[in-house]
Structure 1
Amino acid sequence: MKKWVMALFLGIASPVLAQDGDLDDKFGSGGIVVTDLKGASEWGRSVKIQPDGRILVGGYAMVEENQDFLLIRYLEDGTLDDSFGISGIATTDIAGGADYGYSVALLPDGMILLAGEVQTGESYHMAVARYHDDGTIDSTFGTDGVVIVPVGNSSAAWSVVTDENDYIWLAGQAVMLESNDMVVVRLKPSGEPDPDFDSDGIATFDLGGNDVAWSIALLSDGSFLAAGYTNLKGTDDFALIKGNSEGRIDEGFGDLGSVILESNDGTDRCRAVRLDFENHIYLGGTLFEDGKYKAAVIRLLSDGKADDTFGIKGIASYSLFGDYENGYDLELQADGKTVWAGHSRVEGTWTFSIMRLKEGGALDLDFYDSGYRSVPIGTGQSIGFSVEVQDDGNIVMAGYQSDAETQDVAVARMMGSSGPLPVELSSFTGYLSGNQVYLSWTTKSESNNYGWEVQRFHPDPEGPEETGSQETEWKTIGFVAGNGTTNVSKSYSFQSQIMVPERSRRATHQSLFRLKQLDLDGSVSYSQILSVNDVPGGFQLLGNYPNPFNPTTVISYQLSENSKVTLQVYDVMGRLVATVVDGNLEAGFHQTVFPATGLSGGVYFYTLRAGNQTQTGRMLLLK
């Protein structure tokens, strides 16, 4: 690895700029932080980057005689965040026995979820705890801040995610009568099991062997993908299932709802599933090939078939350092590159390992000259489990490092670049009126912006009533030219006749839209998905964008008639903090900019009043 190259020119020594993959010397000590709680064992199992850039690691730690749930928060430079827990560290004894935290999720209001397994008597069961942003347990959630989900004889939750309604999804495994089964659980925001999901909030899936769901991804239509492995064919193979919003298997996906990727006689294990903007499915883990355990990324089409444009028949697998690469996590960058992470055996010692692939599955040689690297920490073993890509492209890994007697939480940060997005959106709003859609958006700046494809999503497999056709993908309904390169804010609008809202959403009269931004060099990026309401001349508060936001957001609303209007913002205690609008407005569509100058970060509510009509929305200010 080359750190510096000294070039003599007119007597001046010039350092070469750090490349992607180099350890970030602005983080910890040379890019590495090791946290010792002075116990025998502390493991970092999951890492998340909070919107303000602080780094949250979840796992478990030995406290007195048992393992407890563990959360650690670091500032951007790797120092412990004294505003969190006790000196940056929070531990929770869940049920008096051994408690293991495996996966962290962040909620829009700043709350934190940590899921795993806890010991209750002689058994272990799935559990999730919810914390305030300061690391204290949220006693309003479940029972004293914790929900335990007994499934089968024993169970464990390996992954937790949340959807747009703050419902909580757990994926894992349960020991049933004769074998392990995949388990997916859906909880209400309060922690109660959702009876609309397989009647009791718990869905189990038996693929015929010992089956494990290690990771879960959610689709915009309410369905889900659960990925892991099964030994149905004798040895462990990658396994993927798709279920609908009611918790039942989607038999139209793969082979009657599942995809099992059988390779050779060795052990293949999938531990991560991710979706890109076009619903390509990415699976990450380890494949046994040619007598070696290789780092593997598999890409499938949305129907479960292999994507032949990626790797070799959808598979990109690499032997990085020798005979064993153990994959645990996967992240997708904004520029289409894929980051695989785990640990590898290097000359007999386990070390953090990371690999970055180009969009087509080839090794990205702009990353550490080879497309991969190891990160040894300390003099013993270093085991990597989780990876996150920051907004600036830097890459954070978490796990633990060990010596002969103890294990300590370890975090490493590497330089990276996710490819600067050519356009920065500051607002994106819209509404439907009859069979017309009205969209508007504003940019802060643009770089080489060719223009925008306006796209609409059709999640209903039965299709719109007018055609009877099957529409299950994003459709381009128009194009708006961009402004090339400019540092001046630009505003755009789009109006078009469309088919009526999809049947699956007709009860709420909503449609989904997004912007596909095209760069002059042919690269693309996508906006957030916008859900807009059908408001045929009625009174409607249409929401705010962006949300979360900092420091400004745009609130959109529709008036049915000329009215005296007020738009006011309140904090969570119900105190008025701003009056944004107070006056007479004409009927029609309106947008108002709300600058949150001087306000602290957190949840705020905004209330629109026109005549005797009132509606309220929620927004999150990030600081």
Structure 2
Amino acid sequence: MYKFFLFLISFSFLTVTTVSAQLSAPEVAGVYGGRVNAIEIIPLDSSSIRIFVSTESANSLFYQDVDFSSPDGPTGEPFVALPDANEDDNLGGNIRLLSADWNSGTLFFINEGTLYSISTAEGSRVEVAQGVSGVRAYDGYLFYLTNEPGLTLHFGAVDSSDGSFTEDGDSPLSVSTESVQNPNGLPIYINPVNGRVYLAWMGLSEPANIYKSSAPYDSLDKSTTFDALPTTGLGSYSYGSFGMGPDGRFFAGTTAGEEPNHSKFIAWTDDDGATWDTLSTGIGGGASGTITCGTDPTDYPVYFGSAYSTSKGADGTWKSIGWQGFETHPNDGPAGVVATVPGMVVFTTDMGVGASMDFGASIFEINDGLEAVQIADFDMTHDKNDAWVASKSGIRRVTNYASADEEWQVYFPMGDGSPYYSVAVDKENPDTAFAGNIRVYRTFDGGANWEQVFRMEDFWNTDFDFFSYISDIDVHPDSGRFVVWGVNSPSSGVRGAVFYSFDYGNTYHRVDTDVYNTEVTRLTVVPVDADSFTVFVACDYVSDGTTSSYGVKTIGFRFSDESAHFSNDMIGESGGDITNFGANDIKVNEFGDVVVAGYNSSEQPRVYGKQADSTAWVMFSTAGFPENGRSSAVSWGYDAYDNQVPYVAVNNTLYALDSTYAKWNEVYTYPTGNQVNVLYWDDLLVGTGTGLYEQYLSPTGIKDLAKAPGSFELLPNYPNPFNPSTQIVFRLGVNSLVELTVYDVLGRRVQTLVHEARPAGLHRVSFNAEKLAAGVYFYRLKARPVNGGHAFVDTRRMLLLK
């Protein structure tokens, strides 16, 4: 039996017997977190809250309930995807405006211009309106914006029992004669002091556009008008971030300076724009789309991306949101304040979602169940025991893969929380790995320590810009000292590049590509003999009038003189260059046959192959493919009877080429909205927009994955927070070898509570922290079934108060 790692597809030149086999249903490989777009928090009752988040993945919306009824502190279950907004509902990963009705618990959100209402119940999603650009639920009312043409405000009541919306008879109202668009949506605010409705968006000729209603939100009628507030006091900056304080103070934010030396700039008015106060926060980074405030009108914190003010935004009160060594740090996304729990704030972080119980002075991750990690790249050692994964939320390493000792770890090299696009491992030494985002990092000790070996910033004034990134990295399969990385520059007229090193990245050189552009998508190193080897370079299709990039380039290298010889030509059967082709992925089998998957200028899927003893590339049949779509990933694989065949991912479907090379057959279709980014064969690992998944191939159809039983569980400790003792409870599905360990925030082992065989069932262990300092601690359960199978590993947090 085989498992298939899905990231790309490859193609085989062997003649095989046609077999119609199927893959098992995908199962998550324990990778949680993801990029979060929006946060909304509502009280469920006097002692519990619900956290809604939207993610940049096919699992569009999640929720988590947190209970505060215990005097020992909050407890919460893992995040759960909303049944009507998960990966099979085709809502995508661009939901950026959420607003919930506190009375009914109904969540309103905008997706591709359509306003929906939804609850946690299956079948609850309802379309409310189309052409919507902003939404706010407030005090039993719903407000939303459309362009009809001209900016228009709709309003009405929300039923407190079922969340249904009834538009008011005086709705809609004209706000502006001009239509207004904003990539992140248009915010709507209700001033808690005067009750007026405020609308704001980035200005073109003005620093910002801010409008105020003439009547309170609960008294709007056909006579209501909207007036523009003065913005001349904002100066010369253009503002795109806005917020409203509990005392009616209106905030506007932007970014001052040029990347990478940019910082957050804030402004506010207490008199509807007659006067503005402005200041630089002194905190680096970009501007978040929202500014969130605390709830006490006498004095309150202000949250602006990764920065916060301890007192109403005033000068001298701005700080960076705190984070600890065991945690990732907050990014410049939105924040959510818990109105019923003073001091509790929820943030977006590099890893997913974080929370603070002290107004932002320190945070901890709450990503359990957030199945939204966007996998970009994957690499594995020759023995298939160790692998590294690049994602938009960190670098992940798995050791002892598919064994009872399987274990996952998350890394942010040198604290760098930028999205990661590429990763490569020394195939003989799993502790040596390289990771790339806009920099290249290297570790020689399995991720414990990282070094920066390349910085894109050093080239911004020459060939690259702020948007250029390290699109792929590869290591010579037989000599880990050779590493090569590629650059992709999506901006018009900006070039890509290939860099290489013969000494693990200590020194590097750029490949001379003459006038040709290499907008790199994938790289693969193929040995020719003991001295020479070839690097195949898959390139995007780019033709912007300034530069062009296409197809597959080849670079010949030699160890003996460390030389590099570049060739731009991708020769077709007729002897001419293949230029109408953008390559997304490329793989080589053990016979030296190459397969590359991509698309043409009409966005139609294309797959080419080249045999080891040939210089000509042959386009394979497109029969069986959809008319439009990019072939995103390719891999050599096997059918159910061990025949080697090529697999290709087009959109959300996996295809295999039949033995006659005449047609592609569907093997597995993922839920609509999933993008397959990586395919890796031995086990089939599938890297998608929601996470990393394992699948098995079976000649008879679906079979169960050999993984830890679902009845394994590590439960929240109780009480939490605690002083000085707490109870830790875990459930074992089968008899297992158990290790239960406590760590501090720096990852140091504090105490091993259990290290022995335990029978199946529920187990309770007491932990006494009388001799420990107050703070955040972590308890980790590792359970290996005694009869074999995957190990169950889980970690939870607990807070010791003294």
User: If the length of structure 1 is used for normalisation, what is the TM-score?
Assistant: 0.40
**Structure showing the higher strand proportion among its residues:** 1
RCO greater where, 1 or 2, for CA within 8 Å and sep 6 or more?
2
User: If the length of structure 2 is used for normalisation, what is the TM-score?
Assistant: 0.32
Larger C-alpha radius of gyration, 1 or 2?
A: 2
